[in-house]
Structure 1
Amino acid sequence: MLIEAGDWIWNTPVTEYIPELADVVNRRDGKKDPVSYVDWEAITVGQLASHMAGISRGSSMPDLSERDVSSLTGLPGLSGSDVPLCISQLSCNRTEFFAYVVQQPPVVLPGTTPIYSNDAFRILGYIVESISGKSFAAVLNQRIIEPLELRKTSLLSENMSLGGLPPDTNSSGWMQRGAEAAAISMVSTVTDLAIAGKAILTGALLSGAQTNRWLKPVTHTSNPANSVGYPWVIYSGGGYPDTSMIDVYTALGNVGLYSSYIGLVPDFNVGFTILAKDSSTSPDLNAHTGVIGDALLPALTKIAAIQASTNFGGVYSSTTLNTSIAVSADSSPGLAIDTWISNATDFRATLAALNGIGKVDALSIRLYPTHLTSKRKSISRQAFRAVFQDKDEFADYGTATCVSWLGVDKFKYGGASLDLFIFEVDSNGKALAVEIPALKVRLEKQA
């Protein structure tokens, strides 16, 4: 959908693609009851994709009317007409599905808080079909499975020969409703999911700009360590404010006896996948993910610091001027500038004065990558920005507030940014020199 339509579609009302929903809006003739009926005109494609539509969990969810409720006292009796077709039979077609959905009240006001919904993803599947003029299965195969050569990924209705098949496929959840292909009806392997994860991180199917916009939060949850995206559940690891936050973009699911989990860490360009089944219920993989996060993220941070020190650490100096900087990596984020001499002057003192910092020793100068890179044959130019902070600054009444992002690109000299550093890097990733445009100087790294 992103490839064909572009991500502007996130802001388009779903009624533009789903005639059944547009018809129900027209039949209500402007009369709205926000408690009893969903205002489909107010729901966008992006809200469906980011858990923000506020609609019913799903026609596929178990209904107590399907169980023996004799032990559940206090429930009234039901007639056959009280049970919707989408509940009372194994599968419901598109007509039956929308007849059920339009009668469901909203769960919350759209756009206010994340609520998971299988129905939202089934509707997204129909939107993909509306845009492409093809079946969801055909789009899935032509746009994702075939280009990435995911040889063991398919819709359940297409391939039942893979995986650990339990004795009772009905109760296990293996046999899911085929019409819900876009929600809960796929089978895959850890290898194929790893291939898909790498394709996302490298922008194999989408442009780099679209991928960067996609891998971003949409809203928070009540847990500060969790946000949601399109359709990511974002786990924020790390021990902020003592360490930087590291976001893991995850997609997870559990159906019957099965659970799945994929996690992507764009900051380090790595990821992981977990598939599991159990004999009595779907395994809870959140605990496993926590273990991976506790072990993986600190290790990645340490490895990154070692690589940064190896590739960028050292003294850079001019061959004609008394100008130099010393760069190092430590346990904190980014690279540190320990000394900075410009034209035989301690430039740290100048920067401390510019930033209103009384003690030069309290000035922190750290370099952070901007992800802006240009290549010239075997040499690439990589831009970094410096962040200047007062290590003795009063910490906002003890809160972990960080406003350093407000000061980036703040100081200019002759139109050039004082915090811009451009490293020249060889094909092995090792820095050879650094340019500081505001000082009109190029410093070579000393052996």
Structure 2
Amino acid sequence: MLLYLCFLSLSGLTSATAAFDQKVLGQAYPFPENLGSAHAVRTASSYISHELQNALDTGLSKFGNITAKANSLSATMISAQDSQPFLDFHYSAANLNVSGGSTNRVTGNSVYRIGSVSKLFTVYSLLLNGGEKIWDMPVTKYLPELRKAVSQRGANSAIDHVQWDQVTIGALASQLAGIGRDASRFLLKQPGCRNYPWTRSRHVLGITPSLRALEEEPTTEFFDVLLKRRPVSLPFNTPTYSNAAYRLLGYVVEAVTGTSYTEAVAKSVFQPLGLQNTSTSSPGGTGVGVIPPGNSGWGRPLGDEVSTGGLYSTSRDLAQFGRALLNHRQLSPLQTRRWMKPHAHTASPFFSVGAPWEIWRTRSQISSGYTIDLYTKSGSDDQYQALLILVPDYNIVASFLCAGPNAGPAINMAAEVALQSILPVLDGVSQSQAFHRFGGRYVSSDAKNSSLLLTTDHQGPGLLVKEWLSNGVNVQEAAQAYSDGTGGGTIKSIRLYPFISNTEDASSTGSSGSRASFRAILETEPVNYDSGVLRILNVDAGQWGRIDQLMYGEIAVDDFIFQLDGHGIATAVQPRVMRDTLKRV
């Protein structure tokens, strides 16, 4: 009986009103598989393609209007487990600059400028070549120009001078350095800005009139300009976007590898991952790039700014890069998990900042369901826009590239259409596959009268415990009786969630079978709880602190292990605290 009391007391410690919020952050179901052959995914992909085609043709969309037929777009969505995308949409604008070398037919191998998506490759190169051990090192360790500035200025005012000895590699990567956005771009002293009073002096932004074009700017002059810039904030205070930070990280890549940035990123990333159409300079030849008419910025060299926004790539290459991250092709699973985490929040509850991840928070059904985090990186360069999205909970990657006069609104439209269409479908497919792989009845092989019935439903995520008998005792009824006696409230459901997959289990035995670890979470409603009362300290948010909380005989009462066959289908389950194995029937 003590066993039941331990398990049931979870109801007194756990209180929430919504099953969708009463879980820990992460997967609700095991990763969906074979998405390309799933009927619901194919239907959603067809709908997305139709909507994008119509919006680009007409220029009309509920997400904002654009110039009809003027913007080229590539959109690729793929599962990390698959080799072929389940969405591969490409649109060619009517007025591409073919005489200037543009392709006249956009495909998945057509090259675009990707702007600040380049920052992902810079951090990735640092992780491959320097590892996490350099993350907390001050940037002055690698860049003598900044080290010299610290020694010359001493303990000067933090309002007037960046405290470079407090700025770490990790601070630069996660936009927490507190330094200026740019050191040499977007000068105010240019046509259109000349009539403002503050532009009439001889020097603007501390930059002398002799500053040469950006692509010819020497490194020494960059540092001269950078060191004249005032700090925006103190290091690690609040995230503020900085391109200059990633130019510095490009120099750190060179210091760590002993080669140029171009050579380092090609040798470390492009070549090993087979990204044949990704480069640090515009590709030669004609018919390769997507080039809008006019001053598109296609061939403009960025010099040492390449590490912050100068790369060229294709939607398929970006999708393959995302697959490599999720599949741990080069970084270990541990390194990847560390990297793909927020480093700071913003003023919006829906957006956090990583290194350099831009992390958007939504829900599985967009306006309802459980929390889903999208790890993204956007980029902008003249008439080019890029967006790479990783959805770890579903193990998928999406890449969007756009070129044209309305590239910004167009890519936002495309991302919204695709995400709002596919995320609910992925939730449904994941749930359906989870039921197929894990749902059904499990029974004891002896005369103990123990069984477990698992299903899925639309009232909450995870595997729902529909029935549970242990040695003839109805666990759910006993749990509710104990909760009633202790004032623990109403137990709405018991649900199982994946924590360690069979692919992450070192004891996996390949084709003969493997294991997967799940944990049980109780959805409860406290006595006299009024869901209509606004609360700052929301009781829905406490589940992360209750996992593995209660033990019996040195075993956590919420610990479930599934035995899987060679196809990942459950054959048995062990509610470990019951010390019994139930076979699936």
Superposition TM-score, scaled by structure 1 size: 0.92
Tell me the SS of whatever aligns to 1:424.
strand
Q: Does 1:381 align with 2:531?
A: no
Offset from partner CA, 1:204-253 (integer Å, 9 cap, x none): 11001101111111111111111111100011111699521111110101
- 545, 549, 556: which one pairs with 1:410? 549
CA distance in 2 between counterparts of 1:158 and 1:327 reads 55
Offset from partner CA, 1:53-107 (integer Å, 9 cap, x none): 111111342112122435x443451326853479652331211111111110111
1:409-428 equivalences under 5 Å are: 409-428=548-567
One-letter amino acid of the counterpart of residue 39, structure 1: Q
Hey, what does 2:279 align to over in structure 1?
154
- 497, 500, 525: which one pairs with 1:368? 497
Tell me the SS of whatever aligns to 2:452.
strand
- 296, 316, 329: which one pairs with 1:191? 316
CA distance in 1 between counterparts of 2:481 and 2:136 reads 46
Tell me the SS of whatever aligns to 1:268.
coil
CA distance in 2 between counterparts of 1:99 and 1:425 reads 62
Q: Give the stretch that moved more between structures: 61-70 or 205-214.
A: 61-70
Deviation (angstroms), 1:362: 2.5
- Check the 8 A contact 1:150/1:192 in 2, yes or no: yes
CA distance in 1 between counterparts of 2:165 and 2:466 reads 57
Tell me the SS of whatever aligns to 1:263.
strand
- Check the 8 A contact 2:366/2:420 in 1, yes or no: no
Offset from partner CA, 1:406-446 (integer Å, 9 cap, x none): 11111211111111100011122211100122111000011
CA distance in 1 between counterparts of 2:491 and 2:427 reads 25
Q: Does 1:322 align with 2:449?
A: yes
**Distance 1:158-1:15 versus aligned 2 partners, 3 A rule:** farther
Deviation (angstroms), 1:177: 1.7
Aligned-residue sequence identity (percent) comes to 33
Structure 2 unmatched runs, 5+: 1-125
Deviation (angstroms), 1:350: 3.9
- Check the 8 A contact 2:557/2:577 in 1, yes or no: yes
**Distance 1:256-1:346 versus aligned 2 partners, 3 A rule:** same
Q: Give the stretch that moved more between structures: 183-192 or 421-430.
A: 421-430
- Check the 8 A contact 1:348/1:363 in 2, yes or no: no
One-letter amino acid of the counterpart of residue 185, structure 1: G
Offset from partner CA, 1:340-365 (integer Å, 9 cap, x none): 11100011244446667758963421
Hey, what does 1:78 align to over in structure 2?
201
Hey, what does 1:347 align to over in structure 2?
475
Q: Does 1:101 align with 2:234?
A: no
Hey, what does 1:398 align to over in structure 2?
534
Hey, what does 2:394 align to over in structure 1?
268
Superposed CA RMSD: 2.4
- Check the 8 A contact 1:86/1:97 in 2, yes or no: no
Q: Give the stretch that moved more between structures: 181-190 or 284-293.
A: 284-293
- Check the 8 A contact 2:184/2:225 in 1, yes or no: no
CA distance in 2 between counterparts of 1:288 and 1:139 reads 33
CA distance in 1 between counterparts of 2:222 and 2:482 reads 64
| Count of residue pairs brought into register by the alignment | 443
Tell me the SS of whatever aligns to 2:581.
strand
Q: Give the stretch that moved more between structures: 420-429 or 187-196.
A: 420-429
Hey, what does 1:203 align to over in structure 2?
328
CA distance in 1 between counterparts of 2:572 and 2:407 reads 58
Tell me the SS of whatever aligns to 2:197.
coil
Deviation (angstroms), 1:187: 0.5
CA distance in 1 between counterparts of 2:565 and 2:470 reads 26
Hey, what does 2:439 align to over in structure 1?
313
- Check the 8 A contact 1:153/1:189 in 2, yes or no: yes
- 359, 372, 380: which one pairs with 1:246? 372
Deviation (angstroms), 1:134: 1.1
Offset from partner CA, 1:159-205 (integer Å, 9 cap, x none): 57531224545x63640422112111110000110110110111111
One-letter amino acid of the counterpart of residue 398, structure 1: L
**Distance 1:57-1:444 versus aligned 2 partners, 3 A rule:** same
Q: Give the stretch that moved more between structures: 385-394 or 318-327.
A: 385-394
Hey, what does 1:69 align to over in structure 2?
193
Tell me the SS of whatever aligns to 1:435.
strand
Q: Does 1:38 align with 2:165?
A: no
**Distance 1:280-1:352 versus aligned 2 partners, 3 A rule:** closer
